[in-house]
Structure 1
Amino acid sequence: MSNFTFKSCKLLMMIALVFMFTTVSTSLGSVASAANMTWDFTQYNATQITSAMGAGWNLGNALDANINGVPSETAWGNPVITKALIQKVKAAGFKSIRIPVTYMKKIGSAPNYSIDSAYLARVKEVVDYAYSEGLFVILNIHHDGAHSTTPNTPSDNWLLPNASDQNTIRDKFKKVWQQIANTFVDYNEHLIFESMNEVFDGKTYGGTQPDLTIYSNINTLNQIFVDTVRLTGGNNAARWLLIPGWNTNIDYTAGNNGYTGFVLPTDYNRSSTVPSSEKRIMISVHYYDPYFFCLVENEGATQWGATADPAKKDSGGQEAHMESQFKSMYDKFVTRGYAVVIGEYGAIDKSANDSSNNTYRAIWTKAVVSTAKKYSLVPVWWDNGANFGLINRHNLTITQQGIIDGIMSGIGNYYRIVNRNSGKVLDVNGYSTADGAAVNQYTYSGGYNQQWELLNVGLNNYELINRNSGKVLEIGGWSSSDGATAQQWAHSGLGGYNQQWQKIDVGDGYFELKNAASGKYLEVFGWSTNDGATVGQWSLGNQYNFNQQWQLVPIN
C-alpha cells in the first residue's frame, strides 16, 4: 500500500506489538529475544510454511564448489552466480531456493574459527539475490562434512561424526554457526537454516544398522546447531530450522525397517512468541530412488514407471516404493507438527543412451512432486548446472522444460479464478509486476498473470498470490467502501487483512471471496462480461449474484 492510512495502521500495529512483547518480557523474564524480532517476521506453522515454500531448486555446484578445500563458485564449471539467474529460477515457477555452501579453508584457526569476511559477504550477497525476490532460502553447511577425498583433501572435510576429536569439531561447528546466524539475524521467515548436508560415517549407505555412537554424534551436532542459532536471538529465535538424519536417508531418519538412532533436537531456547502447540523444526531427507535410474551415469536404467520398457527400468524403486518412503516421513513427523523437506531429489540426464530418457525423467519428477505434495513434503530439485541441470547458467535458457512442467504440474498450487457470471478470469492488467497494478477480468489465455496460488494463512483466510508477479490480491487503501477496487501489492505480513480472503462455499463448485478486513465480497462491477471490466468489493448480494461467485480451476 502507498497511502497514509495504511502506513498509520501499520505503525499502530508495530507499536502494539512492541508493547505486547515488552509486557510479556517484563512479566516472564524469559523472552528478551522477542522484542528484537522484526515487524515483518510471519509466524508460519508447519502447514503454512510447507504450502508457501512450494517447489524448490538447488543452486548446486556453486558456493559449495571448491579446489583442494578452497571454496570457489566457478571451480566446478559453473559461471559466477548472478541475480538474473535467480530471477530466471523464480520465473520458472520455483518458490524456494536451497543454497549449499562449503566453508573449509575459509574458516580460520582456533579458538575463534573466524569465517573469511569477504567470503561470508559473498554468501550474503547471493542469499540476498533470492531473498529480495521473495523466495524462501535454505542455507546450509555443505561439503565440510563430505567423506570424498576428490577433489578435497581429507583434512579439509572437518565436520565428520566418526572423527576422533569430537570436542574440537563441536566447538568449531558452534562458532561457525554463531557467525552465520548473526549475519542473517534480521532476515524474516523466508530464510531457513539447515545444519549440515549428507553427514555420516562414509560407508553405511543402506541395509545395515548405522553405528549408534556415530549417529549420536550427529544428533549432538544437530542439538548444538539448534541451541546456537536460537541463542543469537532476534528472528533466529523463531525461524524454522532444518535438521538432517544419517546421510539424509529416509529409512535411517524415519526409523523404517527397525533402524534406530535419529533423535530430534529439543527446542527449549526458541522465542516464547511461538505458540506452544507448534514446532519450528523441519526434517531434511534426500530422494534419489531408484539408484540406477537416478544416479548412475551412462549406464543402468533409463526409464521409470508403469509405462516404461521393463528391460530399461529398475526392478525396484517404482511407484509403490516412493509412496511408502514419503508416507513414512508423513507418519513419523508431519503428523506431529514438524515440516519435512526433500532437500535434494533428481534423476541424471541419460538421453545420450536413450532418446526417451527425458520423457521418463519428467514422469518420475512429476510423481516425486505430486507424492510429496500428497504427504505435505517440500520437494527441492538438485540442479548442479550440468547433468542434473534444468537451466543453462551461462546463457540463462531453460534446457529441461519438460521436467520443469512436471514439477509445476505435480505441485499443482496454481488456479485460474473464474467468475460465474462472465466466465472470465482474474487478470493482472498488462502482466504488471508493480505494486498497485489493477486486477480486472479477462478471457483466459494461459498467461501467468491469470494464474493464482492460494496460501492458507490460518482462520480460513487465504492470500491469493499472482504467479507472474508474486504479488497478492488486495483491496486498496484498506477501504471498507462498496466500489473499492482490487489491485496487487507486495505481501505485507499476517497483519495485512486487506490482503486476505475467506473462501465461502456456495455450492456447485463456486465460492464467494470475502475480504478479511472489510467484510465485503469480490465481484465484477456492473455484472459486466467484457474483457478488462473492473473487479473490486461490494456488500453481499443474494444467492443469484453470480458476479460475486468464483470457481477455482487447477492449472495442470
Structure 2
Amino acid sequence: MKKFQLILKTSIYLSLFIFLAPTISLANETANQTIDMEQYAENMQPGWNLGNTYDALGEDETAWGNPMVTRELIQQIAAEGFQSIRVPITFDGRMNPSGDFAINEEFLSRVQQTVDWALEEDLYVMINVHHDSWVWLQNGMENNHDQTVERFRRIWEQLSERFQDYPVELMFESINEPQFTGDERQQQGYLDELNDAFHQVVRNSNGNNPVRPIVLPTLLTGQEPERLQALYDYISNLNDPHVLATVHYYGFWPFSVNIAGVTRFNDETKNDIDTIFNRVHDQFTANGIPVVIGEYGLLGFDTGTDVIQQGEKLKYFEYMIPAAQDRSFVHMLWDNGQHLNRHSLNWHDAEFAQMIKTSWNSRSAVPNNNFIYLNNQEDRTDHQIDFKLNGHQLDYIKLNNQTLIAGEDYLFEDGNLILKKERVEALSIEGETGHIATLHVVFTGGFNWDINIYQHGAPVFQEADGTSDNFQIPVSFEGNHLATMEAHYEDGTIAGPQNWTSFKEFGYTFSPDYDNNTITLTENFFNDIEDGREVTLTFHFWRNDNEEQLSYKIVKNGDQVTGWPVIDEEDAIPDEENGEEIIIEEDKVVPDEDTIDEEHVSHNDEKNTNNQDKQELATKENNPNSQNEQMEESSLAPTLTNHKLPDTATNLYSWLIAGLGLLLIGATIFISQRRRRVNH
C-alpha cells in the first residue's frame, strides 16, 4: 500500500512540474534561441517611417503638424504593403533631465500603444533614440560626458524593462544619425562608447532582450568608407549574431536638392547609387551582416516634394529601390507627413506611391521626358518620347481616355514612341496655355506613365519692389515650368550662396508659385548678395529637348530689393563662358565628395534649426488637450496575446502531453487499488 501511495504522489508532483516548468522557462527558451538574421531582414522588407511624430520637439506628438497616431493609420500602413515600421522617438522634454532620468509615463504609454498596434498588424517594429542625437548628445559627450552617458543609459534601461517580454519582431536602434563635436576619431569614439552602453543594457536585461535584434548606425549614418569600416570592426568585436547595420540614403546631393544644374536623373546620380550601395554591400552584407537603409528619400523633400521635377523624381526611385533590393538591403521610406496624408490616409502624390510600390517587385520602363511642350507660336510636328523598356513591352496608349491606334495615331519601335503630327494638331487650343492633355502609356508590366502635354507661350516678367526677406517677382508663366535658376554679378562672377556654382538651390533660394504667378527669392539667397551690386538671374524653363532661358535683374540695398526684366538678352550675362552647366570662377574649386558631404550636413543643421523653431511655436500654441480628446480609448497595458512570437512552442506541447499521460496512469492505479480495498 505504501509503495502504491509513493508512486501516486510521485506521478502527481511530476505532472505539476511538467505543467508549470514550460511557463517558467518560456522566456529563457526564447532568450536562448538563435534568430536567422538574414531571414529576419527579408521579413522587414519594405519599411516605413512614422516621422515627425514621437520625434517632434514640443508639447506632444502633434508639435510638428501631424495629427495624433491612430490605429487606423497603422492599419493603413500594413494595407499599403509595408512589412515594417520605424518609430523615431525623441526623449528630450519627455524625461527628467537629471536625477533618475525617468521618462514621462503618459508619453511612453503612447509609444507603447503604437508599438502594440503595429505588432497586431504583423509589422516588424523598430524604436530608437532620435533627435536627442543633436539636441543634447552632440555637445554633451564632450562638455558633460558622464551625465550624458548616464542619461542615454537610463533611456535604454527603461525601454528594455518596458518591452522585455515583447516578441523579437520589436527591435531596438541605438541612436539616429549620431553626430558629435571633435574630429572624426573622437566622434567615432563617442559613438562606440554609447553603443557599448546600449549593448550592455539590452543584453543584460530580461525577457527576450538577450536575443532581441539591435540596429547599430555608422557615424551620421553615412556611407563613407572609413565610417563603414569603423562600424564593421565594432560589430565584429561584439561577437553578437543578432545585429543589423544601418545607413541612410538621400541620393546624389546636387540632384537630391536640385543645385548645380543637376535637374535630371543623370548618369552621375545613377552611379552614386551603385557606388555607395556596392560599398555598403561589400562591407556588411557580403560578410553576413544585414543592412537596413533606415531612411531614404530626397533631401529636397524637406523644402517641398516639387523641388525635383516629377518625372526625374520617379525615375530616381524606380532605380534606387530595386538597386537596394538587389543587394538585400531593407529600405524604409522617410515620411514626415509629406507622402501619406495622416488625416485622409491617402497619398499626397498617387504617382509617387504607385512607383515605389511597383518598384518593390519590378523594374519599369522609363521615358526620357514625362512631358511634351507645344509652343503656341510654332507649327505642329511629330513628337518623340524615348523609353528604356527594362524588359517590358508596350501594351496600349490612351490620350485623354481615348485609346490610340498604332500606325495611325502613333508609332512605337525599339522603345521610341512617336506621336504623329496630325494627332498633335488635334490637341491645339487656340489662345490657351497650360495643361491640355495627358498621354497614358501602358506596358505589359511595371509602372504606367502619364505624359503631360502643355501648350505654352513665352513667360512674361514684370518689375517689382520688395524686401529681402520675401521678394516676389510677378511672372505670367504661360504654361511653362521652372527647372532651375542661375545668378551672376555684372562682371560674370557667381552671386548668391554656394558660390562654387551659378545654379542656385531650388526651394532654398528660390521657388515658383504657379497658382499665384510669382517666383519668390528667399532670405537665404539675399544673405549672400552684396549691397549695391546688380545681379542677373537666368531662369531655365523645361522644354522637350533642352531648356529655354530668360533673364531678370535685381539690386539689393540693405533690406530693399528692386527687380526688372531684361529686354536685351545679349546684355544678360557679360561672360560668354558662363553658358556652361556648372560655372566656376578661376579661384573657385568644385567641391569634392567631402565638401558635398559637409553641404549635406549643413542642411541637417538647418533642418535642426527649423525643428527648434517649431518647438518654440508649439510652446506658444497652448492647446494640448484638443487632440487628446479625439484619441481612441484603448488599454495601454502591454499584452502579448495578439503578438507574433517565435516558433518556440513545440517543446511545450510535448511536455503537456507527457504530463497528461502520467496523470492518467496515476489515476488508473489509484482507482484500481480502491476497488481492491472495497472487495476485501
Give TM-score, length-normalised by structure 2.
Answer: 0.47
Q: Is 1:399 paired with 2:325?
A: no
The structure richer in helix per residue is 2
Q: CA deviation at 1:292?
A: 2.9
Q: How far apart are the structure 1 equivalents of 2:354 and 2:43?
A: 19
Q: How far apart are the structure 2 equivalents of 1:99 and 1:405?
A: 23
Residues 300 and 180 of structure 1, relative CA distance in 2, 3 Å threshold: farther
| Higher normalized contact order (CA 8 Å, seq sep 6+, divided by chain length) | 2
Asked if 1 retains the 8 angstrom alpha-carbon contact of 2:255 and 2:264, the reply is yes
Residues 493 and 302 of structure 1, relative CA distance in 2, 3 Å threshold: same
Q: Is 1:291 paired with 2:253?
A: yes
Asked if 2 retains the 8 angstrom alpha-carbon contact of 1:246 and 1:253, the reply is no
Q: How far apart are the structure 2 equivalents of 1:378 and 1:118?
A: 32
Q: Is 1:330 paired with 2:281?
A: yes
Aligned to 2:234: 264
Aligned to 2:47: 56
Asked if 2 retains the 8 angstrom alpha-carbon contact of 1:219 and 1:262, the reply is no
Residues 267 and 127 of structure 1, relative CA distance in 2, 3 Å threshold: farther
Residues 56 and 261 of structure 1, relative CA distance in 2, 3 Å threshold: closer
User: Is the radius of gyration larger for structure 1 or structure 2?
Assistant: 2
Please tell me the residue identity of whatever aligns with 2:264: Q
Alpha-carbon displacement from aligned partner over 1:487-545 (angstroms, at most 9, x marks no partner): xx997754699xxxxxxxxxxxxxxxxxxxxxxxxxxxxxxxxxxxxxxxxxxxxxxxx
Asked if 2 retains the 8 angstrom alpha-carbon contact of 1:223 and 1:266, the reply is no
* Secondary structure of 1:379's aligned partner: strand
* Secondary structure of 2:194's aligned partner: helix
Please tell me the residue identity of whatever aligns with 2:151: K
Q: CA deviation at 1:287?
A: 0.4
Q: How far apart are the structure 2 equivalents of 1:75 and 1:230?
A: 34
Please tell me the residue identity of whatever aligns with 2:351: G
Q: CA deviation at 1:304?
A: 1.3
Q: CA deviation at 1:165?
A: 2.6
Aligned to 2:4: none
* Secondary structure of 1:107's aligned partner: coil
Q: How far apart are the structure 1 equivalents of 2:231 and 2:46?
A: 30
Aligned to 2:556: none
Residues 51 and 16 of structure 1, relative CA distance in 2, 3 Å threshold: farther
Residues 301 and 163 of structure 1, relative CA distance in 2, 3 Å threshold: same
Q: Is 1:412 paired with 2:364?
A: no
* Secondary structure of 2:335's aligned partner: coil
Q: Is 1:193 paired with 2:163?
A: no
Q: Is 1:362 paired with 2:335?
A: no
Q: CA deviation at 1:289?
A: 1.7
Alpha-carbon displacement from aligned partner over 1:50-82 (angstroms, at most 9, x marks no partner): 210011111111111113xxx521111111111
Please tell me the residue identity of whatever aligns with 1:366: E
Q: Is 1:304 paired with 2:265?
A: yes
Q: How far apart are the structure 2 equivalents of 1:360 and 1:268?
A: 42
Asked if 2 retains the 8 angstrom alpha-carbon contact of 1:246 and 1:262, the reply is no
Alpha-carbon displacement from aligned partner over 1:322-379 (angstroms, at most 9, x marks no partner): 112112222111222211110011024566466xx23322221232221111111110
Aligned to 2:462: none
Aligned to 2:327: 375
Q: How far apart are the structure 1 equivalents of 2:239 and 2:106?
A: 31
Residues 179 and 401 of structure 1, relative CA distance in 2, 3 Å threshold: same
Q: CA deviation at 1:401?
A: 3.0
Q: How far apart are the structure 2 equivalents of 1:108 and 1:407?
A: 41
Q: Is 1:118 paired with 2:106?
A: yes
Alpha-carbon displacement from aligned partner over 1:151-187 (angstroms, at most 9, x marks no partner): xxxxx52454652232221111111100011111111
Show the 5 A alignment for 1:76-475: 76-146=64-134, 157-158=136-137, 160=139, 162-201=141-180, 210-251=183-224, 255=228, 263-265=233-235, 279-295=241-257, 301-305=262-266, 316=268, 318-347=269-298, 348-349=300-301, 352=306, 357-385=309-337, 389-412=338-361
Asked if 2 retains the 8 angstrom alpha-carbon contact of 1:55 and 1:407, the reply is no
Q: CA deviation at 1:229?
A: 0.7
* Secondary structure of 1:304's aligned partner: coil
Asked if 1 retains the 8 angstrom alpha-carbon contact of 2:90 and 2:131, the reply is yes
Aligned to 1:34: 28
Gaps of 5+ in 1: 1-11, 23-31, 147-155, 204-209, 271-278, 307-315, 415-445, 447-488, 498-556
Q: CA deviation at 1:263?
A: 4.3
Alpha-carbon displacement from aligned partner over 1:452-479 (angstroms, at most 9, x marks no partner): xxxxxxxxxxxxxxxxxxxxxxxxxxxx
Aligned to 2:501: none
Q: How far apart are the structure 2 equivalents of 1:363 and 1:264?
A: 36
How many equivalent residue pairs? 355
Alpha-carbon displacement from aligned partner over 1:194-217 (angstroms, at most 9, x marks no partner): 0111111369xxxxxx52022111
Q: How far apart are the structure 2 equivalents of 1:284 and 1:351?
A: 25
Aligned to 2:469: none
Q: How far apart are the structure 1 equivalents of 2:251 and 2:181?
A: 19
**Over aligned residues, Cα RMSD in angstroms?**
3.6
Show the 5 A alignment for 1:480-495: 493-494=646-647
Q: How far apart are the structure 1 equivalents of 2:225 and 2:144?
A: 24
Please tell me the residue identity of whatever aligns with 1:166: H
* Secondary structure of 2:72's aligned partner: helix
* Secondary structure of 1:105's aligned partner: coil
Please tell me the residue identity of whatever aligns with 1:288: Y
Q: CA deviation at 1:140?
A: 0.5
Asked if 1 retains the 8 angstrom alpha-carbon contact of 2:180 and 2:190, the reply is no
Residues 296 and 179 of structure 1, relative CA distance in 2, 3 Å threshold: farther
Please tell me the residue identity of whatever aligns with 2:192: N
Give TM-score, length-normalised by structure 1.
Answer: 0.57
Please tell me the residue identity of whatever aligns with 1:100: P
